[in-house]
Amino acid sequence: MYLGIDLGTSEVKALVIDECGQTIATHSVPLVIERPYPNWAEQHPQDWWTATNNLISVLREKCVQHWSAIKSIGISGQMHGAVLLDQGDNIIRPAILWNDTRSYAECKELEAAAPSLHEIAGNLAMPGLTAPKLMWVRKHEPDNFSRVKTVLLPKDYLRLKMTGRKISDMSDAAGTLWLDVAKRDWSDDLLDKCDLTRSHMPELIEGCDISASLSKEVAQNWGLNSSVVVAGGGGDNAVSAIGIGAVEPGDAFISLGTSGVLFVVNDQYRPAPQSAVHTFCHVLPHRWHQMSVMLSAASCLQWFCRIVGVTETELLSEIENISDEDRAHAPLFLPYLSGERTPHNDPMATGTFYHLTHSTHRALLGYAVLEGVSFGIADGLHALQNSGTHIKSCSLVGGGARSPYWAQLLADILTLPIVTHKGGETGGALGAARLACLATGTSVADVCHKPEVDHTYQPGKKRHTMLQHRYSRFKALYQHDVTLRASR
């Protein structure tokens, strides 16, 4: 048996698979984001560990007959978060998350201080990434910065609690702006720009390799053998790629979770920072990947449902009954509730409903939300295409993959076949469990097959024409918003 743990933004999820890759049990525990000030997003690392232990207790009961057969553990996690530890490995302050945009000014400072940043790190300096967060702490919390002995990424804090070892993998480390992504090693030059050295960083390994064994205390508390090993693991999207079988060049998927990601596998380092495309290491050796990233995706739908007091299931049912004529005249929605990355790199962008009338009802607004997020994915697709990357079809994973309506809408907008898979909603946890299996010596070919196809959504030409007209207006609305903000 193999256990996968996925530390997300809104929940910690775990999954157990057997040696044939069949899912035995799953469970999740919710997490809360704290937003004490505008543009801030934080979580307490101890809450991750508490949630993980609660999760293990329930999962252990669910598969009690198989629990002792667990041989290894894989871990996946939200990327870019800054976990700051002191000399005694005590948490200095709450973790600053990937969707925190307070360090906008520090991004400009880093770009100016490190002319080689784009070449080495393969990415623009963005507030969501880790390095600008440390520069913000250095400037605004100097006492805290002076105490920093170690900087860990979220899932690597879980590893520290599980094994006592400070280790990260290439895919997650690539999102810090401190990694030489081509060489798959820390960059002394980029660390120096943040007044840090290699001594502040964890050891690096590949995501499919063994990182350490469970500590005796944790193994005892979890009812596992202390010989259980922990795989290197990876950032959530790269691990989801393992779960969906995206391991060969050209394999692609869309993840509609808290954020929205379009992910493509490459067999070489292909940076494209000019279009705000991310270029990171994959969790497999000799593999890289490109990503377009929007900061708010399925979270936009959750936000709207919370505002109007309706469940997602109820709202989606209402949306499905809207006529084509009403869709053509629905409001437009800019999905930038947390700013935006690809292609705008605009942390100050905000959400907008446009073209409201007395006849606007909540189903039309809900449709606008789905469409606006899909248009944001289209922006990312065009950025990837402009960098020379071409995609023939996309798998769809994440919470949004549960909606056939949304899947068809994406196919119509992107003019790409969209493929959903059975069990695709557990992509991150499944990928982590598969990495656990790889770490014990099983081959990629035997482990990383694509899950069974549930449905393929083909693009419709008639609806695409209407959607392209609305997409043009969507892009113009964002530019108008930029102009308005500049005039304030």
14 in a domain, yes or no? yes
pLDDT at 462: 82
Question: Percent of the chain, pLDDT > 90?
Answer: 86
pLDDT at 341: 87
For the annotated catalytic residues, the residue numbers are 236
407 in a domain, yes or no? no
127 in a domain, yes or no? yes
Residue type, 24: I
CA distance 387 to 378: 14
393 in a domain, yes or no? no
Instruction: Report the number of distinct structural domains present in the chain.
Output: 1
Per residue in 132-167, pLDDT tens? 999 999 999 999 999 999 999 999 999 999 999 999
pLDDT at 345: 87
pLDDT at 426: 60
Per residue in 457-479, pLDDT tens? 999 888 888 999 999 999 999 99
382 in a domain, yes or no? no
pLDDT at 302: 95
Are 15 and 426 a contacting pair, CB within 8 Å? yes
80 annotated to a ligand binding site: yes
Per residue in 267-276, pLDDT tens? 889 888 888 8
The yes-or-no verdict on residue 427 having pLDDT over 80 is no
469 annotated to a ligand binding site: no
CATH number at residue 205: 3.30.420.40
The yes-or-no verdict on residue 280 having pLDDT over 80 is yes
The yes-or-no verdict on residue 265 having pLDDT over 70 is yes
35 in a domain, yes or no? yes
CA distance 227 to 218: 11
pLDDT at 155: 98
pLDDT at 331: 98
pLDDT at 355: 96
pLDDT band at 425 (very low <50, low <70, confident <90, very high): low
322 in a domain, yes or no? no
Q: In terms of pTM, does the model score above 0.75?
A: yes
Q: What is the average per-residue pLDDT within 8-21?
A: 93
Per residue in 383-394, pLDDT tens? 999 888 889 999
pLDDT at 424: 54
CA distance 215 to 226: 6
pLDDT at 450: 87
CA distance 230 to 472: 48
pLDDT at 258: 83
Per residue in 35-92, pLDDT tens? 999 999 999 999 999 999 999 999 999 998 899 999 999 999 999 999 999 999 999 9
111-117: long-range contacts, CB 8 A cutoff, minimum separation 24:
113/193, 114/189, 114/190, 114/193, 116/189, 116/190, 117/177, 117/190
Mean pLDDT of the residues in the chain: 94
In 3D space, the residue among 109, 112, 78 whose CA is nearest the CA of residue 96 turns out to be 78
pLDDT at 423: 65
9 in a domain, yes or no? yes
Per residue in 291-337, pLDDT tens? 999 989 999 999 999 999 999 999 999 999 999 999 999 999 999 99
Domain that holds residue 221: 2-244
Q: Residue 421: beta bridge partners? A: 453
